[in-house]
Amino acid sequence: MDTTIIYYTSNKETPEFEQRIIDSLLKVSGDLPIISVSHKPMNLGKNICVGDVGISGFNMFRQVLIGCEAAKTKFVISAEADCLYPPDYFQFIPERDDICYRNANTYLLGLRRDYFYKKFEGGTWSQAIGREFYINRLGYLFENAPEWSIEEKNFPKERGKGEDIFKITEIEKFETEYPCISIKSGKGMRHYSNSDRIPIYDLPYWGSGKEFRETYL
């Protein structure tokens, strides 16, 4: 598999929680190389520390770009500091290198909830994409932009370049056997995420929401 994991974090989660995220990532990701781009130095793959530049969508994607430029593989796959992934997520092989593949099997664990919600759509936290394609797109979106910005929370919307990094025609869905899970700990940039509001108390591979919370949070 010609793929590198790009792990990006602002290191604002509690160290204990983020370490459990990292331990899970290392357990399920096989032999894929990892590039971590962080606000604080950390011991995960090849680490690139950018300093405490502040939290925003703009800065998150700047970190992603830095990670992509440091990678050497044809594809990159996302991993975030408040998300958990099953092994088959890291086994996905994209057919094309000029579109974005987003996982449709994603769930949310809400703040202080012991059950899951099905997310309406995939996101940048659960996607695989051609590295050069991603670099070129982010380079275009960052044209004439500062290196860092804490003002642009919803990048690239504030740049007047659309709601998403990619056009709808450049996004294709795939679906893992087991779900990827985004966790709302209260420490992240956004406390709310679009999702269904029907409680799901058990998920394949992960078990019950109560046990999940006790294990990871």
Q: How confident is the model at residue 76 (pLDDT cuts 50, 70, 90)?
A: very high
Phi, psi of 84 (to 5 degrees): -120, 145
Q: How confident is the model at residue 63 (pLDDT cuts 50, 70, 90)?
A: very high
Q: Report the pLDDT value the prediction gives residue 193, as an integer from 0 to 100.
A: 63
For the cut 80, the answer to whether the pLDDT of residue 190 exceeds it is no
Q: Report the pLDDT value the prediction gives residue 189, as an integer from 0 to 100.
A: 63
DSSP one-letter string for the chain: --EEEEEEE-S-S-HHHHHHHHHHHHHHSTT--EEEEESS---SBEEEE--S----HHHHHHHHHHHHHH--SSEEEEEETTEE--GGGGG---S-SSSEEEES-EEEE-TT-SSEEEBSS--TTSEEEEHHHHHHHHHHHTTT--S--SS-TTTTGGGTS-SSSS-GGGEEEE--SS-EEEE--S-SS-S---B--S-B-EETTTEEHHHHHHHH-
Tokens at 109, concatenated? 């664990």
For the cut 80, the answer to whether the pLDDT of residue 188 exceeds it is no
For the cut 70, the answer to whether the pLDDT of residue 191 exceeds it is no
For the cut 90, the answer to whether the pLDDT of residue 45 exceeds it is yes
Residue where the block lists tokens 């204990």: 16
Where are the domains positioned within the chain? 3-102+122-175
120-175 tens-digit pLDDT: 777 899 999 999 999 999 999 999 999 999 999 999 999 999 999 999 999 999 99
Give the span between the Cα atoms of 45 and 33, in whole angstroms.
7
Residue where the block lists tokens 């690139």: 48
Compute the mean pLDDT over every residue in the chain, rounded to the nearest whole number.
Answer: 94
CATH 2.30.30.30 is the classification of domain 3-102+122-175: no
State the chain's maximal CA–CA distance in angstroms.
47
